[in-house]
């Protein structure tokens, strides 16, 4: 059996992940992007897990600030926390 070929994320999502992981206190991250209303509404969601010594709310604020430069006008961004595994 052959392994399925994994596609690299689009450049913008890859950059988002780079920015998120550069934030002090982030130990895991996920980013989702989708459209609603037949492609008229762009949505992005970012979820992170903070390390044990960081305040999750502080980490989320820093993540929001880190990605501010790549947000597009009219996009809706949501930020949240990943559950601990």
Give the pLDDT confidence of 23-81 residue by residue, as tens digits: 999 999 999 999 888 777 889 999 999 999 999 999 999 999 999 999 999 899 999 99
**What pLDDT was estimated at residue 37?**
80
pLDDT in tens, 11-24: 999 999 999 999 99
> pTM for the complete prediction?
0.84
Domain boundaries, the chain: 34-85
CA distance 23 to 31: 15
pLDDT for 36 equals: 83
Cβ(25)–Cβ(62) below 8 Å: yes
What number of CA atoms fall less than 13 Å from residue 70's CA on the CB side? 15
């Amino acid at each position: 059996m052959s392994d399925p070929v994994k596609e690299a994320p689009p450049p913008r999502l890859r950059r988002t992940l780079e920015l998120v992981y550069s934030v002090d206190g982030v130990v895991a991250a996920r980013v989702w992007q989708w459209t609603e209303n037949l492609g008229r509404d762009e949505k992005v969601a970012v979820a992170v897990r903070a390390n044990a010594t960081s305040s999750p709310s502080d980490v989320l604020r820093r993540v929001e600030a880190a990605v501010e430069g790549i947000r597009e006008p009219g996009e809706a961004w949501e930020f949240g926390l990943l559950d601990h595994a």
